Structure formats: C-alpha cells, structure tokens
Chain A
Amino acid sequence: MGRPRIASARNGLLRFGCMMLFSVVILTVHCSRANAIPAFARKYGMPCSACHEAWPKLSPFGQMFKDNGYQLGNDRDAPIFQSPAYWPIAFRITPNWHLENSQNLPVVSTATGNPTTTNVTTQGFDYTGMDILTGGTLAKNFSFLLVPSSDELGSFHMESVNVRFDNLLNSSWLNIKVGKFELDNLLSEKRILTLSENGGFYQNYHFQPWIAPGQPSSIYVFGIGDNQLGMEWMGHSKDDRTRLSVSFLSPTDGNPDFINGIGTAAGNTYDVYIAGSRAFEAGSLGLQRVGGFAYFGHTPTFSKYTYDGVVPVGGTGSGNEPYYRIGFIGMWYLHKLDVTTMYFWGKDNAFLGTGTPGDGTALPDGAHAPTWNGGLVETHYTFNPQMIFINRYELIRMSQQALSSNPGNTGNTDALTFGFRYYPFINSRAGLAFHNEYSIVWQRNINVNPVTLLPIGLTSSSLMFGVDFAF
C-alpha cells in the first residue's frame, strides 16, 4: 500500500516541478514589457505625459499616435525631417528589491527525505529583463517597431518585430501590420503599470485550465497578452473614437521558426483575433471607452515524430482542436479616477482541456470541455502626471472542469495588486519612476499535497520596490 502512495507522491512532485517550470517559462515569456519609448518623445519634443497618462499606460492622444503608425500627421513624421544624428532607440530596465512568498509548496524535506509542504520566502536585490525599444517611421505611412528583449540573464528574444502600412488609400480605416505584435488589446499587458512576479501580468490573459490538481495544461501554450505572429488589419475613425481590428495569426503564441518544430503547436492552421471599441465623451468626466474582443484559436494536438520517437517533426501538427477567449471591457473616467472593468470568458476543447491527442485516442472518462469566467477591476488615481496610484483585482472561476473528478474550484484564482508610481521628473528625453507594488495571488486546488494526496491551493505574493527607467 505504501509503495504506490510514495510513487504517487513522487508523481505529484514531478507534476509540481513541471508546473514550476511551466510557470517560469510563462513568466519569462509573458513578463517582457515594452512600450514607453523616449525615442518618440525626443523625436517630437513632447513630454512623456503627452502620450502616456503615466508611462507606459497610453493616453487617448498616445493611442491615436500609435494607431496612426507612430505619426502625428503634421507632415513632420518622416525621418527625412529628423536630424541625421537622431537614432530611434530607447532602453528600459528596472533595478529592484523584491520579496517573494509562496505558501503550501509541495517539497521534499531535507531532514527526513519525505515529501511535505512548506512556505518559502525569499528576498533580495534584483533587476528585470531589458527592453531595447526601437520604432518609428521609415517614410510617410511606413513604420516599424522592433523590440529585442532580454531576460534577467541576458538571453534575448524578439518581443516585437513588425512593419506597418498606414492610411492606405488615404483612409484611416486601412492600416496593415505584419510581423510579431501585441494584439489590439484595449487593456494592454505591454503597458501594464505593475511589474512584480505575481502582478506583472494579467491572470485572465494567461489562464489555462488545469487538467487536474497538480497537472497543468501542457498540450499548448497561449496568452492573449502575448505578442503574436501574423497580420493585422486595423481601422479607426480620424479622432480614434472608433477602433476595429482583425488579425490572422500563426498558432505559435508568438514563437518563431515553426518550420523547424517547436512541438505540436506548429503550423498548418491560423487563429483569428477580433477587437473593437467605441469611445464617447461624458462632459468634464473624460473619455469613456467600451469594447470587446474575441480570439478563435486552433492548435494541433499531436504531430509525427522522428523514427526514434523523440523529436516532433515541424509542420506535421495534426488533430487541430479549438479554443476560445472572449471579453468585454470598459474604461471609465471620472476626472482623475479611472476604472477599467473586464469580463472574460474562455473555453478549451475537451482534447485540449484533458491533454489528450486527437489521433484517435479516447478521451478519459468524465472529460469535458473546460469553461471559465473571469473578471477584472483595475483602478487608477492619477493625482498628477507625476503620481499614479494603482489597484487591481482579478478573479477566475471555473464553470466546467476538464475532468468531472476534479474539485469544482480547481484552478479558481483571485489576484490582488496595489501600488503607486512616482515620476520625479517629466520631460521629453527620458523617464524614471519609483515603483512600489504589492501583489498576492490565490490559486485553488492546483497542487496535490504529497502527504495526504489531497488537492491543495497555492498562495503567492510579491513585494517590490524598483526604479523603473527608460532613456
């Protein structure tokens, strides 16, 4: 009786290890921040506060500038009007001190060698990855964005690589973007105002349901907040009050080189993302905006392998199964106070939800297509362009588990983040913010207690003080 129990506990630890690795990958890929670009401020001689309510969060003017292909539209946008010494490049990085705490972590006791759970607290000085931000116009209505981004260890990836063709046929409704880019998310994760390990991304944007406690989703990786590879049509009214976009995307979550194989999530299908919003004025309260978005994804569930059965062959992904993400968002301004609200709905096909390859393998007993609902309330109080207070609460509630044997609340998540950023100076050359943040995340029944083998939750928190600067 004891041996299977230990084996099961080891399996649990193995799953936990996989989960942690998965989390590290997710955070490494997803926490790359981008866009507060002093190079634009230098080019146009404008203070950061013109385009950013508090950088990196865009103001309506900054959103219009971006939607116009990084152009102000006064026929001074083309590089021919710049001093030849002008170089459209900026850097951003955040030295910081942070404290991380995790509770109920399954571990192996160093004293007894037996599995157990523990609380882990660690703290110290650190720094974030670095973004190299370069973008702007190549010529009138031709623009680009290139963001090589490193993790903390200096390993680079391309966060953004895209070229834009704007105002085609002299219409603001015809703009094309090709390459790797952030989806047209009203609530931009690349301009998130929180940076910590737990608060530096939107839980709703990256949530994938758990197959079972201790068994995270593994058949594909996707985050609506991740930059994706594809082509986007975007149109907007002259005043940017109405915005629409449709994107056709490779289902690789923004990872390049699919032809050489990165597992099963490669090639042979395309995803579609649709977003739209409408802003309206409410007197002196400010500009209110409501919108919606929908992501229709497909991903292969298996692929052919080399003869030794080890390496998946790129481009052989088969057994496509769908997944969906739909959301509605409102951005409400009450003078200096603004509140963003979001409703989120997600569904994975049962094969994706249970990690079952669609090659004829039968679904496990009690398999369902997992579905869930999510919500977000993010509040900002912009005391002035130099001081912003931030608060965010997110929740995710499973409405249908992938396996009927799962506890009904497996994967349910609550996340609370608050903090403030102080910008000691505002000018058109560089930016610096003293960043202060606390974030805590509760995830229900995502692990297995290695002793009792019962599902347990995980609580993680971050405290962060940093100096976020861009120049």
Chain B
Amino acid sequence: MQNKMLSKLCLKVAIALLAPLGIAAQDLSAPPAKPNPNEESHIGDLTGHAKPGAALYYRYCWGCHGARGNGDGENAPYVTPTPRNFVAAVFKCRSTPTGTLPLDSDLYNSIVRGFNFTNMPSWIALTAQGKADLVAFIKTFSARWATEKPGTPIQIPAEPKLTMESIKHGGELFQKLECWKCHGQEGRGDGPSASTLTDSNDQPIRPYNFTTDNRSKCGRANQDLYRIFMTGLDGTPMPSFADVVKPEDAWDLVHYLRTLQYNNPSPELTLWESTPEGKAIVAAKRVENTNTGSGVAP
C-alpha cells in the first residue's frame, strides 16, 4: 500500500518536473513570430521603407529609444516619462480601439507632433518621406506588426453645437466618470489617485494637467480630445471609455475640459466666462496661477 502511494507520488513529482520541459518543447515546436525587416508604411500617397528609415533612426532616435528599439537608449535613465518601447508595440496616441495596433498615420502624426511635456520633440523638420520611412522601420522592432493588423479607426461624429448645457453636462460626466480622481477637481492633474499611478513600464506617471496648455499629448484639436476618451492611452492608466460613454456625451466632456484650460482662449472658455458662475471660477483660478517663467503653471 505504501509502495503504491510512493509510486503515485513519484509519478506526480516526475510529471511536475517534466511538465516545464514539455511546455518548452511545445514552444520550440512553434517558434515565435519574427518582425518583418522589410516593413513598409503607408500614409496617404506615401510609402515608407524600413531600410532608409533605419539610417534616420540611428541618426535621430536611438539615443532615447535604444539601438534595439526597446526604449533603453543611453539617455533613457534620464528621461521621464521613459522612451517608448517599440518592441512592445504599445502606443498611446491611436485612432484605433484600445489594445490594437495604431495606423501608420497615427505613428506618423506622433513623429510630426512630438509629445508635449516629454523629451520627444516635433520632427516636423524631417521630410515627409523620411518620417514615413521612420514609421516603417519602427514597425520592424515588434513581431506584432507581422502577425496583427491595425485596429479599425473609431468613428468621430460631427461636433454638436456648443451650448452651456453641453458644458454643464460635461462637468457632470467629469464627476460621474470619476475623472477627478486622477485629473483633480480643477483638472490640474492632482487628484487623490494621481500619486499612485504607474505606466506599463511600472514607472510613475502624472495625469494630464489641463491648466497648463491646450496641447494634449495626442493633439490640440477637439477631435483629438474626443479620440483620447474613446481609444484610451494604451500603456497608461487612462482607459478607453468607448463602451461607457455615448458619442454626444463625449463631446459634452470635451466642451467642459476646454473650460479648465483657463489660460488658452477657446469658444468653450469664452462661453463659460460669459456666465457669472464661470467668470468667478476662472478668475479665481487665474489669481492662483504664478508666473514661473517656464511658461507652465505650477
């Protein structure tokens, strides 16, 4: 009896020990997909090619993004937020749903625009062909581009007419969706959860401070703000609200957020300040602001 139990125990131990080998063998039998070294990009009429893109990458980009594209360039330790890891192929600014690959044009626009409040500048000075080539080369770092297709771009309905009701409803949504937990009640990026947030690299990340500028990371137009709600910023705690916010509600939220940008004239801010309530709130915020000489509110 004891021998039988001992035999079963030995068998279980053997299975437990050999199981990883079996898994490993299974992995070996199905080699992982490899990146395509001849990736292309397609932006409008432009076709980008990886080979000339590589020359540009190793001139302009490797210092931060690293020679292997995994974000470990020699300057990465000094850069906050950390440079994008192209091997992971997770991108913040997309026109595609959360979790999907971006369009080539999304990457292209990111290169053109740069990312405000980061070390990534605008590369608008490069030629259009050069930027398209860079996009093609960036795609060679990850096998995702070889195995997946970019997501279907979200549809952005026409912006409805701006009204006070829209702004007020947006304010209600700001509370209801608990945007304030990260972005703060006044949109300064100082909500109660702000200090706990980390990105996909486990690095601390600050929520966007709406009072500093009208340039969010993914563009300055109202459509860009709308897109951020609906796609989320992958790799950050900012989720997609596509499943919980109706399009007309998202536009209301956009209109409300514009009123938080009290240093940047906009139709929304003008309308908001035309009311006694809005005028008093904006005036109070402006008094609190201090000119640091940095062009950025404290």
Contacts and interface: CB of A to CB of B under 8 A. Distances in A.
Interface stretch (A72-80, A148-156, A225-233): A72-80
A46 to B, nearest CB: 5
A78 B124 contact: no
B116 A428 contact: no
A63 B125 contact: yes
B128 A140 contact: no
A428 B76 CA distance: 12
Interface stretch (B16-24, B168-176, B290-298): B290-298
B55 interface: yes
A61 B126 contact: yes
A112 interface: no
Interface string B114-135: 1111111111111111100100
Contact of B296 (A44, A73, A75, A385): A75
B116 A61 contact: no
Interface residues of B, number: 38
Given A74-B117, A139-B294, A284-B52, A45 B63 contact: yes
Contacts of A74: 114-122
A287 B56 CA distance: 14
Contacts of B212: 75
Interface size class on chain A is 20 to 34
Interface of A: 44-47, 49-50, 59-61, 63-64, 72-76, 78, 80-81, 139-141, 238-240, 281, 283-284, 286-287, 384-385, 427-428
Question: DSSP majority for the B interface?
Answer: loop
Given A50-B63, A81-B294, A45 B127 contact: no
Contacts, number: 100
Given A81-B294, A139-B294, A45 B75 contact: yes
A84 to B, nearest CB: 14
Nearest to A239: B124
Given A45-B79, A61-B126, A75 B62 contact: no
B121 A139 contact: no
Contacts of B119: 44-45, 74, 76
Contacts of A47: 59-60, 62-63
Interface string B251-278: 0000000000000000000000000000
A188 to B, nearest CB: 16
Contact of A240 (B62, B125, B128): B125
Nearest to B215: A75
A377 to B, nearest CB: 23
A239 B125 contact: yes
A149 to B, nearest CB: 28
B64 interface: yes
26 contacts: A45-B119, A46-B60, A46-B63, A47-B60, A47-B63, A49-B59, A50-B59, A50-B63, A59-B59, A72-B122, A73-B122, A74-B118, A75-B117, A75-B295, A80-B293, A141-B295, A238-B124, A281-B127, A281-B128, A281-B129, A286-B127, A385-B58, A385-B59, A427-B63, A428-B74, A428-B75
